[in-house]
Structure 1
Amino acid sequence: MTPQEMERRIVRYGELKPCKTAFIDAHTPGSNQKENFTIIGAGVSESPDQHIHIRETPGFNIGAAGQPPKCRNSLHSHRTAEVFFVLKGRWRFFWGRHGTAGEVVLEEGDIFNIPTGIFRGFENIGTDYGMIMAILGGDDAGGGVIWAPQVIEDARDHGLVLGKNGKLYDSKKGQSLPDGVPPMPLLTDEELKAFPEPTTLDVVPHYVGRYWDMMALADRQPARVIGTEGMLRDRPGFEVELLGRGSIPETPYTTPSHEVLMVMRGHWKLSWQGGEAVLAPGDTCAVPPGLEHALVPSMTGEASLYRVRNTDDPAGPTHKLAA
């Protein structure tokens, strides 16, 4: 593989292209400044304006959300896994029908394997622009977003209507639902009963990984974060590890799986027969199956990255909470 071919498989943090109209709450006060990024795969954006950096899906999707302080993402649910880690800032995640069932605050490097089938939202509670990176299960990311009813109602009051076809229509731009396309129906009270309301104690001990705990585990080998032997035991169609300076393979290696490298801290040199590249914090690299490669920090100091590989497990939860 030539350096040019590999560079096309690297999405640089400084070259990420945001979409500010990706979801139904794009005009809703408090949510109207967020930016959505689709890095690998089609993602779950409801807008045709969403830029996709790498379309090939390795069995999961990679995305990101960037938000200024006090900006929030509205309550929604997914049919498959949704995992976030904090790249920059401090974030509050909350969940439940009205966002009051439980919450947790995540710092930089922390990871949250959000239980499938609950309404969840998040907001930047830091003092600067923040960024969270996302891993979504499945090639099609579960077929889209399920919104809490009040989110759809609030959006309609501010000019955005979601069609049953999963596409957004903006009345502020003169758009309306096409003939034959009804609006997305609100979930009924009976349907809402299927969405659990877990408490903070139900969720945090089993679904949240703290960065410095994982870095301690990565002292001699990669810290297994999500997977059959991970600290957050789940099988959502992919596995996640955290690598630090002390857990680097001593020799080049290959894997039959797709491998996505997401740098958290430091600069890393990726080398393979044919070239090398340096990955910086926030960069995402899709290493193809079967490519022999090596990975080492290129500078002294703190170094960490998340490594994601596809598995043969279905793109769904193994620990879904009961309603």
Structure 2
Amino acid sequence: MTPAEMERRIVRYGNLKPCKTAFIDAHTPGSDQKENFTIIGGGVSESPDQHVHISIPHGFNIGAAGQPPKCRNSLHSHRTAEVFFVLSGRWRFFWGRWGDAGEVTLEPGDIFNIPTGIFRGFENIGNDYGMIMAILGGDDAGGGVIWAPQVIEDAADHGLVLSQEGKLYDTKKGQALPDGIDPMPVLTAQELAAFPEPESADVVPNHVARYWDMVALADRAPAKVIGETGMLPDKPGFEVDFVTRASASGAMHQHNKPSVLMPVRGHWRVDWDGGSATLAPGDTMSVPENLMHRAQPSMTGDASLFHVIATEDQAGPTWVAQAG
């Protein structure tokens, strides 16, 4: 593969194209300044304005959210896995029907495999614009987002209506639901009762990995972070490994599925049969299946990256939090 061909599979941080109207809370005060990015796969955006950087199926989706201080992403749920790692900023993740069942604060490099089956949201509690990178299970990202009822109600007060097909319509722009299309119904009390309310102590130990803990475990070989035998045991349809300078191998290797490299710190030189490229934090590289390649730090200093690859496991829910 030529360098030009491979460059089309690299999404540079500085070239990310945001969508500011990706979801139903795009006009809701407190959530109206967030930017959403769809990097690999179709994602779960509800807006036709969302730009998809790489549409090649990988068995999972890669996205990102960028938010200024005090900006919040509203309570929602997914039918498949949702994993975040903090690229920059300081973030509070919260969950539960009203967002008060539990919470955890994440710093740069920390990763959170959010349990399926619970409402979750997050906000930038730092002092600067922050970015979190996301991995969503499955090529279709689970068929969309399930919103807490109050989010749909608040959005309607600010002109946004979501159709039962998962498409947004802005009444302030004169848009209306097409004939024969109903609005997205809010969940009933019976449906809401199926969403558990786990406390922080029930979630954090098996679903959050701290950056420096991963660094310590990756001192000789890449650390398995998410996987059946990982630090955060799960089988969400993909595996996540953490690689540092100490555990980066100079040996050329290949995978039978497309894989993704996502630097957290430092600059990484990726060599393959046909060329090389350098990645920086925030860049995302899709490595084709069966391509011999290797990734190594290209400069001195702290260096780390996440490696993501699909597995044969079903991308649906693999763990549901238990209340209490």
TM range (shorter): over 0.9
Q: Which amino acid aligns with 2:248?
A: I
The 5 Å alignment of 1:280-299 reads: 280-299=280-299
Partner of 2:11: 11
TM-score, L = length of structure 1: 0.99
Distance apart, 1:175 and its partner CA: 0.4
The 5 Å alignment of 1:196-207 reads: 196-207=196-207
Distance apart, 1:149 and its partner CA: 0.1
Q: Which amino acid aligns with 1:316?
A: G
Partner of 2:209: 209
Q: Tell me, in whole angstroms, the C-alpha distance in 2 between the residues paired with 1:193 and 1:122.
A: 22
Q: Is the 8 A contact 1:177 1:183 kept in 2?
A: yes
Distance apart, 1:178 and its partner CA: 0.7
Distance apart, 1:258 and its partner CA: 1.7
Partner of 2:273: 273
Distance apart, 1:114 and its partner CA: 0.1
Q: Is the 8 A contact 2:78 2:117 kept in 1?
A: yes
Aligned sequence identity (%): 74
The 5 Å alignment of 1:114-125 reads: 114-125=114-125
Partner of 1:242: 242
SS in 1 for 2:246: helix
Distance apart, 1:165 and its partner CA: 1.0
Distance apart, 1:257 and its partner CA: 2.3
Partner of 2:89: 89
Distance apart, 1:172 and its partner CA: 1.1
Partner of 1:53: 53
Q: Is the 8 A contact 2:203 2:321 kept in 1?
A: no
Cα RMSD over matched residues?
Answer: 0.7
**Count of residue pairs the alignment pairs up:** 323
Q: Tell me, in whole angstroms, the C-alpha distance in 2 between the residues paired with 1:276 and 1:113.
A: 32
Partner of 1:140: 140
Partner of 2:305: 305
Q: Which amino acid aligns with 1:118?
A: I
Q: Deviations for 1:226-245, whole angstroms, at most 9, x for unmatched residues?
A: 00110000000000011000
Q: Tell me, in whole angstroms, the C-alpha distance in 2 between the residues paired with 1:270 and 1:73.
A: 34
Partner of 1:170: 170
Q: Is the 8 A contact 2:38 2:50 kept in 1?
A: yes
Distance apart, 1:294 and its partner CA: 1.3
Matched, 1:126 2:126: yes
TM-score, L = length of structure 2: 0.99
Task: Flag structure 2 segments of 5+ consecutive residues without an equivalent.
Answer: none
Q: Tell me, in whole angstroms, the C-alpha distance in 1 between the residues paired with 2:103 and 2:81.
A: 18
Matched, 1:67 2:74: no
SS in 2 for 1:156: helix
Q: Deviations for 1:186-232, whole angstroms, at most 9, x for unmatched residues?
A: 10000001101000000000100000000111111001100011000
Detail structure 1 runs of 4+ shifted over 3 Å in the superposition. Answer: none
Distance apart, 1:319 and its partner CA: 2.0
Moved more, 255-264 or 119-128: 255-264
Q: Tell me, in whole angstroms, the C-alpha distance in 2 between the residues paired with 1:254 and 1:79.
A: 31
Q: Deviations for 1:238-262, whole angstroms, at most 9, x for unmatched residues?
A: 0001100011123111111221000
Q: Tell me, in whole angstroms, the C-alpha distance in 1 between the residues paired with 2:172 and 2:7.
A: 39
Q: Is the 8 A contact 1:234 1:317 kept in 2?
A: no
Q: Which amino acid aligns with 1:279?
A: L
The 5 Å alignment of 1:25-36 reads: 25-36=25-36
Q: Deviations for 1:254-300, whole angstroms, at most 9, x for unmatched residues?
A: 11122100010000000111100000110000001100001110000
Distance apart, 1:311 and its partner CA: 0.3
